[in-house]
Amino acid sequence: MKSGEMCVLLCHISAVRVDKSNTILNIMNGKIRIWALGAAMMVGTMCTDLCAERLVILSTNDTHSQIVPDAANQGGILRRRALVDSIRGAEKNVLLLDAGDAVQGTVFFNMFRGEVEFAMLDSLGYDACIMGNHEFDNGMDILSGFYRKMRTPILCANYQLTGTPLEGLTQPYIIKEFAGRRIGVVGINLLPEGMIAPENSVGVQYANAAEIADLTAEYLKRVEHVDFVIALTHIGYSGGKDNNPTDNMIVQRSRFIDMVVGGHSHTTIDPSSAKSVPAFIKNADGRDVLVSQTGSKGRKLGYTAIDLDRMAVECYKLLPVDSRYDDRAGSYAGMKQFLAPYQEKVDSLMNHTVCHTAEAMANSSMQAWNLVGDVAYEIATKNSGIKIDMAIMNAGGIRQSFPKGAVSEGLINSMFPFRNNLVVLEMTGQQLLDALAVMGGRGGDIVSRQCYVEYARQGTAKPAKILKATINGKAIDPDKTYHVATLDYLANGGDYMEPMTHCKWLYSDKKQFGERMLEYAKALEAKGKKLKADGKRRMVKKQ
Rounded to an integer, the average pLDDT of 138-153 is: 97
Supply the CATH classification number for the domain 3-45+53-342.
3.60.21.10
Mean pLDDT rounded to a whole number for the chain: 90
pTM, two decimals, is: 0.83
Amino acid 461: pLDDT: 73
* Average of per-residue pLDDT across 146-157: 98
What's the pLDDT at 460? Answer: 72
Average pLDDT over residues 109-121: 96
DSSP assignments along 421-459, one per residue:
EEEEEEEEHHHHHHHHHHHHHTT--EE-TTEEEEEE--S
Question: What is the Cα–Cα distance from 509 to 391, expressed in whole angstroms?
Answer: 14
What would the mean pLDDT of 184-212 be, rounded to a whole number?
Answer: 96
User: pLDDT at position 96, please?
Assistant: 98
pLDDT reading at 427 higher than 60: yes
pLDDT band at residue 200 under the 50/70/90 scheme: very high
Residue with more model confidence, 263 or 27? 263
* Per-residue confidence band for 38, with pLDDT thresholds at 50, 70 and 90: very low
Say what the pLDDT of residue 419 is: 87
Based on the number of CB atoms within 10 Å of its own CB, is 33 exposed (0-12), middle (13-18) or buried (19 or more)? Answer: exposed
Q: Are 206 and 75 in contact (CB under 8 A)?
A: no
Q: For residue 308, is pLDDT > 60?
A: yes
pLDDT score at 8: 33
Domain locations along the chain: 3-45+53-342, 353-541
Residue 390 clears pLDDT 70, i.e. is over it: yes
pLDDT tens digits, one per residue of 443-480: 999 999 999 999 999 877 789 999 999 999 999 999 99
Average pLDDT score over residue span 64-79: 96
> What's the rounded Cα separation, in Å, for the pair 283 and 34?
25
What DSSP designation does 374 have? Answer: H
Task: Select the CATH number that applies to the domain covering 353-541 from these four: 3.40.50.9100, 3.90.780.10, 3.40.50.300, 3.40.50.620.
Answer: 3.90.780.10
Domains 3-45+53-342 and 353-541 share a fold: no
Q: What is the pLDDT of residue 330?
A: 87
Report the candidate in 378, 485, 382 with the shortest Cα–Cα distance to residue 424. 485
Please list the helix, strand and coil fractions of the chain in percent, rounded to the nearest 5, in that order.
30, 25, 40
**pLDDT tens by residue, 236-278:** 999 888 989 999 999 999 999 999 999 999 999 999 999 999 9
